[in-house]
Structure 1
Amino acid sequence: MQLEAALPVGADPRRHARALAEVREAALAGTTLPSAPRAVIGASWQRMRRLGLDPDRGSPSSALTPDQLETRRRGSGLAAVLPVLRGGLISLAEQAAHIMAVVDADGRVLWRDGSTAVRRRADGLGFIEGVDWHERAAGTNAIGTALVARHPVQVYSAEHYVSNQHDWTCAAAPLHDPRDGRLLGVIDLSGPASTVHPTTLALVDTVAKLAEANLRTTHLSELERLRGLATPLLAKVKGRAVIADPHGWIAASAGLVPVGRIALPNDAAPGRTWLPAYGECLLEPLPGGWLVRFTEGEDAPPTRVVLDLRSSRESTLRVSGAAGTWSHRLSPRHAEMLYVLARHREGRSASELSRDLFGDAGRTVTVRAEMSRMRRHFGGFLLARPYRFGDDVEVVVERPSDGEVLPHSVAPAVRD
């Protein structure tokens, strides 16, 4: 995706800030806008109005206690990449009068480093470690809006919904766990509005990608260690079986066409379970993963599929049938595709899905690859030619209470 800087190339920062202030005032007053805000900002302002957020104060929340903050840090999954983030951004933050913030998926500021003078200014704003800086508390801002939009965001001056942030500029990029696609949080650079620069967003996004690459390398090393345990163990197993890590990534397999990953249930536990693509299985715990034995016999087809989209943080698929019930956390892309198919029970061709997701009918290679992955995991209820849910499967979509489905999505079929 192309990154969109908050300050247009060649624009005068002060004049642009005044123009943004006029647009925001008109939006709050409900009068004709002198110009349209950027799409990501306009969508966020609409969310803030639906929430009834105070445009002057936001919804201030108390900071975490030191013990609560330390617990969050340990459980965030971000501590492992903190050296990469600091190495990529701290020196720049200090030189450019910025501060770097590392924020978890709930919007809580876990770490904050950088310019001492700017940190003191941030203290006065309430932007401190342990505070909630999600949109629901702080309004439109790079951190909270990147958490919702799931892509890098830069926010400048009066693009901030809450007026006491208009003297600031910030750029944030989300961090995802490469093992399961889970949103871990965001990395942010913030500073006085006078320090705005169009390259800041690209830098933050690059450092976020370096951190994700570091996590990916660590994961591959963990899989390699599990593979050393798997090879002699599988030699003793009769029938089809795989050894997988807790996220379903396969270290080794026997009697099964090689696949990179199987979709394990969210609540995987030792004993018998049921997977839509494989039927009844037996899970046995191993150090760092699972031994999954596939029992022989026909798999009873699913009869009910529930697409749970109530949470803005993650989407879940629950599948029920005569053989049992199974649930699995969905990636944002797979949630979008299943939502579109739920709205079009008659089915969609690859080109139609491409237009639904990207606004371009020509990206069929990407669509076919993603559908192939889903059909491998969710066998029994996803059909092809056209792509659709099986006719005998009941499909239920659980929507959020505010009515905004998949707020991070920019897919035309979702936003329409």
Structure 2
Amino acid sequence: MNNDDLHARRVSAVRAWTQFVAEGAEEESAVRPEILRSWQLSGVVSPAVTHAPLADEGDTAEFWSQSPLQTAVSRVQDELRRTAEDGDLVIAITDEQTRILWTYGGRAMRRKAETVNFVPGGRWDELSVGTNALAIAGRTGTPSMVFSAEHYAEVVHNWVCWAAPVFDPATGRPLGVIDLSTTWDRTHPIGLATARVMARLIEAALPTDRRTTTAGTVGPDEPGLTLTLLGTAEVWLDGQRLLLNRRQTEILALLALHPGGLSVEHLHSLLYGDSAVTTSTLKAEVSHLRAALSGQLSSRPYRLTMPVATDIEEVQRLLRRGDVRAAVRAYGGDLLPGTDSPALVQMGDYLAVSVREALLAHPDPDAVLRYSDLAPYDTAVVEACLASLPVHHPVAPLLKGKLASAR
């Protein structure tokens, strides 16, 4: 396509975009159907938005470090970098919710990308920044191209983007999207094919065993949602681990603790307390979470629509049964350490006190020994256990060692 053709195409896109934004015109002949549908979904965003919102930097870095995509990209990054430099492109890898996890770009495009938060942490779903190739590819599961003013946000009308979804070959589950972007005047017919090739390259480089946790244990085989929230945070859906950020995990924990559902206002209060966080921020997090759960999160009220199992529930069940040893074995430590959700802090305190009181009432030596690893400075529990043991009990020396090291 020569420059005159590209310019005419750009003029046509600008005209259609202007009619849609200013007049609400929805003539399907003016733009491709997938662009019109995306514009309709983008109505919650101002077309004058100047940059994408940024997710928490720490959450993004943590997610990326644990993602199989990180391993795959590290294996093929030479090819990705060479493609970006040769074509003066910026290449981005996203998670399933279209949050950018990794980018690399030629010098000129990298500067342009930084001005609009096309960087790690940038949210490029349609609800955050409007129509773009990453959002369409992620939502539809098919490759997408968005040219110039086909973008909903005017700030990227000078861009052309090609994106292709990345799937887990073993399960078929979507992992994210790879996107190639440059300026509209550098549009090339092989752009979309190149994005497809890069997506297949990443899929082929994925680690072969992705069903183990960081501790090396196999994930649950049970259908539905399984949440490990005590001492660590792991979320499994139908036996496959979901890599979520802290807020999304906190929202899941709260919904699991309230199976009847929560209104947006009640969930906001439980999650943020008195913090100055808008309900639109919460709704965006829920939207990303719903996509990760394949839609199994209903609205009005927010409620999980699948079987849910949590280690919180398991510890409480075992305590009610009086099986203190098994309860301590299931108790991995503090509930989501570092959380600032008032409701989760309160639940964590309640559970910690429940376990401690059960041990004081029934100081099983094996359970106390394990508990002392989780709460090494809680000497009262160790002392209560020692006081109840025969002098020559085999666990006594170990408990005395724990006691000495805590003082």
What TM-score results when the alignment is normalised by the length of structure 1?
A: 0.51
The SS at the match of 1:171 is strand
- Equivalent residue for 1:43, pick from 22, 37, 41: 37
Aligned to 2:370: none
The SS at the match of 1:140 is coil
Instruction: Quote how far apart the aligned CAs of 1:123 are.
Output: 1.5
| Cα RMSD, aligned residues only | 3.5
For the pair 1:57 / 2:64, whether they are aligned, the reply is no
Q: Deviations over 1:277-333 (max 9, x none)?
A: xxxxxx9xxxxxxxxxxxxxxxxxxxxxxxxx9933443779xxxxxx9749xxxxx
Aligned to 1:19: 12
- Equivalent residue for 2:182, pick from 158, 182, 191: 191
**Superposition map of 1:50-89 within 5 A:** 51=44, 53-57=45-49, 60-65=52-57, 67-89=58-80
Which one-letter code corresponds to 2:49 in the other structure?
R
Whether the aligned pair in 2 keeps the contact of 1:85 and 1:207 (CA below 8 Å) is: no
- Equivalent residue for 2:100, pick from 106, 109, 119: 109
Which one-letter code corresponds to 1:312 in the other structure?
A
The CA distance in 1 between the partners of 2:27 and 2:67, in whole Å, is 41
Aligned to 2:226: 267
Instruction: Quote how far apart the aligned CAs of 1:132 are.
Output: 1.3
The CA distance in 2 between the partners of 1:30 and 1:92, in whole Å, is 39
The CA distance in 2 between the partners of 1:58 and 1:181, in whole Å, is 35
Q: Deviations over 1:175-196 (max 9, x none)?
A: 1223333321111111111111
For the pair 1:94 / 2:91, whether they are aligned, the reply is no
Instruction: Quote how far apart the aligned CAs of 1:55 are.
Output: 0.9
Change (3 A) 1:139 1:58: farther
Which one-letter code corresponds to 1:315 in the other structure?
S
Aligned to 2:294: 315
Structure 1 unaligned segments of length 5 or more: list them: 1-6, 227-243, 249-262, 270-282, 284-308, 319-324, 329-416
The CA distance in 2 between the partners of 1:74 and 1:133, in whole Å, is 20
The CA distance in 2 between the partners of 1:169 and 1:163, in whole Å, is 13
Aligned to 2:125: 134
Instruction: Quote how far apart the aligned CAs of 1:63 are.
Output: 4.8
Instruction: Quote how far apart the aligned CAs of 1:83 are.
Output: 2.9
Whether the aligned pair in 2 keeps the contact of 1:23 and 1:34 (CA below 8 Å) is: no
Change (3 A) 1:63 1:265: closer
Whether the aligned pair in 2 keeps the contact of 1:58 and 1:139 (CA below 8 Å) is: no
The CA distance in 2 between the partners of 1:61 and 1:173, in whole Å, is 22
The CA distance in 2 between the partners of 1:47 and 1:178, in whole Å, is 30
Whether the aligned pair in 2 keeps the contact of 1:103 and 1:187 (CA below 8 Å) is: yes
Which one-letter code corresponds to 1:103 in the other structure?
T
- Equivalent residue for 2:208, pick from 218, 221, 226: 218
Could you tell me the percent identity over the aligned residues? 30
Aligned to 2:248: none
The SS at the match of 1:111 is strand
The CA distance in 2 between the partners of 1:13 and 1:128, in whole Å, is 27
Which one-letter code corresponds to 1:218 in the other structure?
T
Whether the aligned pair in 1 keeps the contact of 2:97 and 2:291 (CA below 8 Å) is: no
The CA distance in 2 between the partners of 1:174 and 1:22, in whole Å, is 29
Which one-letter code corresponds to 1:267 in the other structure?
T
Whether the aligned pair in 2 keeps the contact of 1:101 and 1:113 (CA below 8 Å) is: yes
Instruction: Quote how far apart the aligned CAs of 1:141 are.
Output: 0.6
Whether the aligned pair in 2 keeps the contact of 1:58 and 1:137 (CA below 8 Å) is: no
Change (3 A) 1:25 1:87: same
Higher strand share: 1
Instruction: Quote how far apart the aligned CAs of 1:84 are.
Output: 4.4
Whether the aligned pair in 1 keeps the contact of 2:98 and 2:125 (CA below 8 Å) is: yes
Whether the aligned pair in 2 keeps the contact of 1:26 and 1:33 (CA below 8 Å) is: no
The CA distance in 1 between the partners of 2:220 and 2:34, in whole Å, is 32
- Equivalent residue for 2:139, pick from 148, 158, 162: 148
Aligned to 2:325: none
Aligned residues: 239
Higher helix share: 2
Whether the aligned pair in 2 keeps the contact of 1:98 and 1:118 (CA below 8 Å) is: yes
Instruction: Quote how far apart the aligned CAs of 1:268 are.
Output: 9.0
Q: Deviations over 1:51-72 (max 9, x none)?
A: 3x1011167423533x333212
Instruction: Quote how far apart the aligned CAs of 1:27 are.
Output: 1.6
* Deviant stretches of 4+, over 3 Å: 31-35, 219-222, 244-248, 263-266, 325-328
Change (3 A) 1:35 1:264: closer
Change (3 A) 1:132 1:315: closer
Whether the aligned pair in 2 keeps the contact of 1:13 and 1:194 (CA below 8 Å) is: yes
Change (3 A) 1:326 1:110: closer
The SS at the match of 1:267 is strand
Instruction: Quote how far apart the aligned CAs of 1:11 are.
Output: 7.7
Change (3 A) 1:144 1:85: farther
**Superposition map of 1:150-165 within 5 A:** 150-165=141-156
Which one-letter code corresponds to 1:24 in the other structure?
W
Structure 2 unaligned segments of length 5 or more: list them: 229-238, 240-286, 298-304, 309-407
Change (3 A) 1:40 1:88: farther
Whether the aligned pair in 1 keeps the contact of 2:211 and 2:219 (CA below 8 Å) is: no
Change (3 A) 1:221 1:18: same
| CA radius of gyration, larger in | 2
Change (3 A) 1:54 1:109: same
